[in-house]
Every structure is written in structure tokens, then in C-alpha cells.
């Protein structure tokens, strides 16, 4: 088995409460031996040689790289999170493109490639994650790296007319062609990407999910990410003793619980969800005092202005709804702005009668899967899920909603909260079976097996691949 090299913007540290992806990738690295390369989360001075730190744990090396403040502003907070993230989530209105940030994005990818190229061995298989690192393979190829390289995009790939609004769209597609395998979350993303390639004449289809783009042949495919299903189910079933879970249960008295869990991000539709819950109560006054909506929302990317704005807007909205609808003995919305432990989270999912997960656009949405995995098989809750989450393609027992349609979501909340047990069990069973079968380990094996089978391109025309700028 080849050594595995994983590259992601952030490398999880030992003190992070490890999510499923970190656990699964960590296990694959430990099994095969390997290297995890990425940003350390720190900023430091200009000298490149001083910015690469390597530590070894067992048979895994961790190469952590510091960025300068300017790198961070242009690459991370700039092009990745103010241009690519909103645009790939169809938010042209929030996309803030600048050539300075774009140059910083390519500069950091080039710096990563220089540092990584020194650590790659000839038989290594390289797996790059997410939108921060689209140009990495192209930069590595220009340095003469010939290894098999795969890329997985965790967020959606937009349709041509959205992508083409981004001035450097062609460079992005050209960069992706330097990988041997490009993986997306769903078949819709694959379709969108293929349409972008063909529509602008950047390449042509030469086989089943195989494209020739700028003279380089590569494969693409859908690899829907999973969760640690069995581990999550166990965590949930053992969560009854958790202090936070017990306090929540006591405080609910016998009210029903609706839960939403999301990083604070405009793609998650938290504002529209609060509006829908409010509409549900307004149109069902008998539900006053009978139901509580708990929204758990750790802050994220606070240094990006759009996130700071939204933090304020959501807090104000929750406050306004509570002021208008609440009573001396009932607060309809409980809004929590911090991270809670994984065990407690699993317990909250299990306690909730409804999982209300309504992103405006989401690559997959792992919360939806975690909610299903956490349910009690004899008395499961109901998943209300946005049709615009990748997870909606798989979770066919969910009640699908259009998150922009506040009346629709409000009605469906009513249907979910009153659904008879038999229907809940029937809907849940199939979803759980699927999540159990296609868990995070299956995802990882499928991606790596496919990458292993791809014929690597025999030679690379570095002239044609040179990224502009």
C-alpha cells in the first residue's frame, strides 16, 4: 500500500474535539503511514524556511506551515472565504473578488507546493481537500511531482452561469485538471462541473466521467461523504448521563424540542429558519408554550465582515421573536453561540423531536446525518431537510423543504411535530441503514480505491498548465 499524503487547509490538532473526517483520515494515515500537511493556524514572519514545522507521531508525520498575516488576509479571509465560498454557494451578491486576493491565493498554494514537494516520496498517493487548495496539484506538477493526486471538494460546485461570474474561473478549472481524480459530494455537482468544462470549450468528455481538459485526461466522480454512523449512535445512546443533556431535559419539562445545529454561516439559512419557526407558532397558537426551538451555532470566520454582520442579524432576530412570542414561563427560541461537546450534541439530537436543517445551499451537511444516526430506533425524531443540501439526495425519509419558502417550512414543522410513531419509524429505518452502510470509512476507501485505479497521466505539459498570474 502506498504511503498517504493528506493536504487540507487546517490540520486538526490533538486538542480539537475530533470530528468524523479527522478521525477517519487520521486512522487511514496511521494504517498506511503517511503525512498530513496544512496550515498550522498560526501567523509568523516572512522567512519561508522558518515557517514549516514537522512533528512525528507513530508512523504519521505532521507538517504544519505558518502563514504571514498578508497570506492569511489574501488567501484565507480573502479569495477562499470572500470569493470562492460565497460563489460556490450561489451567493453572487456576497462574492467579493479582488486580483490582489487572487494573487495571494496562488502565492500561498505555490508556497505550500514548494514545502510539500520536498516531503513527497515517489510512491506516495496525494489527497488534497477543499476549495482553499484547488491550484495545489498544478503547482506541484510544475515542480516535477508526478505522483497520483486526488482532490475532494467538500462544498457545492456551481452551475456554469454562476461560476463564469468569477473572473478567474478558467484558471480554477485548468488547475483541477492537474489532478488524476476530482471528487464532488453529489452527482449534481459532477454535472455542474462537467457542464462548465464543456460549455466554455475548456475540454471534452472522452469516457465515463473522464474528461480531456487542456490536453490532460482526468477522472471525476461523486463521493458523498458519510459520518461515523455506529460511533455516533453509540455516543447518543450513552448520552443520558451527560450533565448538559440532563439539564436540557429537565428544563424542557414535557415540551417538544426542535433542534438546529450549524456553524454561524450565511449558507446555513439560520435567519430564514427562525422566521419559519416564528411563522409556525403564529399560525398554530395552540403550540405556544408547547415547543422549544434550540439553535446551536458556534461562531466561525469572525474576521470576515459578512460573518460579523450576520452574527448580529441572527442574534437580533432571535431576540425579536422571543420578545414578540415569548411569555414569562416560555422562551420559544434558545440560541447558543458556542461549541458544545460531541457527546452532549449526540444527546441533544436524540432528545429532539425534530431536526430542522435548512441550509440555503450545502455540499452535504453532516448534521443531518448525525441527527438521523443519533435517534432512538423505537421512537425516532423527524428530519426536516432543505432540498438544497447534498444530504437530501440520500436521506429519502426526510421531509424535504424549500428553505426560501417560509410558509412551506412552517407547515412542514407542523407535520413533523405531529407525525405518528409508525411513520417516524418507517422513515428513519431506511435512512439509518443507508448511513450505516455508507459511513465515513466507506467513503474514504471508495475515494482512495478509485484514485488507485486511475491511470496517471504519462507526462505533463507544464507550459499548458501554468496558472495565469
Name the strand (E) or helix (H) holding 367. Answer: helix 366-373
Residue in the structure block whose three cell numbers are 443540501 = 389
Q: Are 413 and 356 contacting, i.e. CB atoms less than 8 angstroms apart?
A: yes
Give dist(CA 400, CA 409) in Å, integer: 9
User: The C-alpha cell of 355 is what?
Assistant: 431536526
Q: Could you say whether residue 136 binds ligand GDG (CB under 6 A)?
A: no
| Sole binder of ligand GDG in the list 66, 362, 394, 439 (CB under 6 A) | 362
Q: Segment contacting ligand GDG (CB under 6 A): 171-179, 360-368, 402-410, 448-456?
A: 360-368
Active-site annotation, residues: 154, 362
Q: Could you say whether residue 296 binds ligand GDG (CB under 6 A)?
A: yes
From the CB of 283, what's the least distance to ligand GDG, in Å? Answer: 29
Q: Segment contacting ligand GDG (CB under 6 A): 24-32, 168-176, 336-344, 409-417?
A: 336-344
Q: Which residues pair with 296 in a beta bridge?
A: 261, 336
Q: Could you say whether residue 242 binds ligand GDG (CB under 6 A)?
A: no
From the CB of 83, what's the least distance to ligand GDG, in Å? Answer: 16
From the CB of 225, what's the least distance to ligand GDG, in Å? Answer: 4
Q: Segment contacting ligand GDG (CB under 6 A): 58-66, 160-168, 335-343, 445-453?
A: 335-343
Q: Segment contacting ligand GDG (CB under 6 A): 231-239, 241-249, 338-346, 459-467?
A: 338-346
From the CB of 393, what's the least distance to ligand GDG, in Å? Answer: 12
Is residue 333 classed as helix, strand or coil in its secondary structure?
strand
Number of chain positions touching ligand GDG (CB under 6 A): 21
**48, HSE (Cβ side, Cα atoms, 13 Å):** 9
Q: Segment contacting ligand GDG (CB under 6 A): 34-42, 106-114, 282-290, 340-348?
A: 340-348
| Sole binder of ligand GDG in the list 284, 339, 376, 441 (CB under 6 A) | 339
Q: Are 381 and 354 contacting, i.e. CB atoms less than 8 angstroms apart?
A: yes
Between 138 and 267, CB nearer to ligand GDG: 267
Give dist(CA 456, CA 255) in Å, integer: 58
Give the chain's largest Cα–Cα span.
72
Q: Could you say whether residue 441 binds ligand GDG (CB under 6 A)?
A: no
Q: Which among 194, 170, 87, 188 is positioned nearest to 131, based on CA atoms?
A: 87
Q: Could you say whether residue 442 binds ligand GDG (CB under 6 A)?
A: no
Cα distance from N-terminal residue to C-terminal residue, the chain: 38
Q: Please give the C-alpha separations between residue 273 and each of 144, 267, 281, 412, in angstroms, as whole numbers.
A: 50, 12, 13, 12
Give dist(CA 285, CA 297) in Å, integer: 27
Q: Could you say whether residue 19 binds ligand GDG (CB under 6 A)?
A: yes
Q: Which among 372, 347, 371 is positioned nearest to 242, based on CA atoms?
A: 347
| Sole binder of ligand GDG in the list 5, 274, 367, 460 (CB under 6 A) | 367
Q: CA 181, 187, 192 angle in degrees (round to 5)? A: 80
From the CB of 369, what's the least distance to ligand GDG, in Å? Answer: 8
Give dist(CA 30, CA 43) in Å, integer: 28
Between 113 and 296, CB nearer to ligand GDG: 296
Q: Could you say whether residue 412 binds ligand GDG (CB under 6 A)?
A: no
Q: How many CB atoms lie within 10 A of CB 254?
A: 5
Q: Could you say whether residue 281 binds ligand GDG (CB under 6 A)?
A: no
Residue in the structure block whose three cell numbers are 508526478 = 146
Residues 207-226: x where in contact with ligand GDG by CB under 6 A, - otherwise, as a string: ------------------x-
Q: Could you say whether residue 301 binds ligand GDG (CB under 6 A)?
A: no
Between 66 and 242, CB nearer to ligand GDG: 242
Binding site for ligand GDG (CB under 6 A): 17, 19, 154-155, 225, 261, 263, 296, 298, 339-342, 345, 362-367, 370
Amino acid at each position: 500500500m502506498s504511503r498517504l499524503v493528506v493536504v487540507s487547509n487546517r490540520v486538526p490538532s490533538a486538542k480539537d474535539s475530533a470530528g468524523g473526517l479527522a478521525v477517519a483520515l487520521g486512522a487511514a494515515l496511521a494504517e498506511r503511514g503517511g503525512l498530513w500537511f496544512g496550515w498550522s493556524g498560526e501567523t509568523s514572519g516572512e522567512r519561508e524556511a522558518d515557517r514549516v514545522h514537522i512533528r512525528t507521531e507513530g508512523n504519521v508525520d505532521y507538517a504544519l506551515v505558518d502563514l504571514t498575516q498578508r497570506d492569511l488576509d489574501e488567501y484565507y479571509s480573502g479569495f477562499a472565504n470572500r470569493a470562492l465560498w460565497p460563489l460556490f454557494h450561489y451567493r453572487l451578491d456576497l462574492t467579493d473578488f479582488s486580483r490582489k486576493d487572487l494573487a495571494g491565493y496562488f502565492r500561498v498554494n505555490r508556497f505550500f507546493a514548494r514545502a510539500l514537494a520536498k516531503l513527497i516520496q515517489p510512491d506516495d498517493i496525494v489527497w488534497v481537500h477543499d476549495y482553499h487548495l484547488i491550484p495545489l496539484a498544478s503547482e506541484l506538477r510544475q515542480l516535477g511531482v508526478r505522483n497520483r493526486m486526488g482532490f475532494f471538494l467538500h462544498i457545492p460546485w456551481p452551475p456554469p452561469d454562476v461560476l463564469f461570474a468569477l473572473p478567474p474561473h478558467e484558471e480554477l478549472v485548468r488547475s483541477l485538471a492537474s489532478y488524476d481524480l476530482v471528487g464532488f459530494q453529489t452527482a449534481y455537482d459532477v454535472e455542474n462541473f462537467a457542464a462548465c468544462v464543456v460549455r466554455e470549450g475548456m475540454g471534452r468528455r472522452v469516457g465515463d466521467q473522464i474528461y480531456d481538459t487542456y490536453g490532460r485526461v482526468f477522472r471525476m466522480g461523486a463521493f458523498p461523504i458519510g459520518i461515523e454512523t455506529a460511533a455516533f449512535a453509540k455516543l447518543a445512546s450513552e448520552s443520558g448521563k451527560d450533565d448538559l443533556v440532563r439539564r436540557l431535559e429537565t428544563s424542557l419539562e414535557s415540551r417538544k424540542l426542535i433542534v438546529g445545529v450549524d456553524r454561524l454561516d450565511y449558507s446555513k439559512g439560520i435567519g430564514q429558519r427562525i422566521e419559519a419557526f416564528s411563522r409556525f407558532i403564529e399560525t398554530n397558537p395552540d403550540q405556544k408554550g408547547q415547543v422549544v426551538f434550540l439553535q446551536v451555532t458556534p461562531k466561525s470566520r469572525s474576521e470576515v465582515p459578512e460573518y460579523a454582520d450576520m452574527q448580529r442579524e441572527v442574534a437580533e432576530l432571535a431576540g425579536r421573536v422571543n420578545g414578540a412570542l415569548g411569555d414569562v414561563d416560555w422562551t420559544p427560541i434558545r440560541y447558543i453561540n458556542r461549541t458544545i461537546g460531541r457527546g452532549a450534541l449526540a444527546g441533544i439530537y436524540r432528545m429532539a423531536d425534530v431536526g430542522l436543517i435548512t441550509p440555503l445551499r450545502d455540499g452535504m451537511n453532516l448534521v443531518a446525518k448525525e441527527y438521523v444516526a443519533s435517534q432512538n430506533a423505537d421512537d425516532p425524531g423527524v428530519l426536516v431537510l432543505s432540498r438544497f443540501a447534498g444530504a437530501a439526495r440520500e436521506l429519502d425519509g426526510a421531509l424535504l423543504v424549500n428553505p426560501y419558502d417560509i410558509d412551506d417550512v412552517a407547515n412542514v414543522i407542523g407535520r413533523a411535530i405531529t407525525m405518528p410513531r409508525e411513520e417516524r419509524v418507517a422513515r428513519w429505518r431506511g435512512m439509518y441503514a443507508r448511513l450505516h452502510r455508507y459511513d465515513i470509512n466507506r467513503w474514504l476507501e471508495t475515494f482512495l480505491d478509485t484514485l488507485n485505479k486511475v491511470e496517471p497521466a504519462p507526462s505533463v505539459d507544464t507550459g499548458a498548465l501554468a496558472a495565469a498570474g
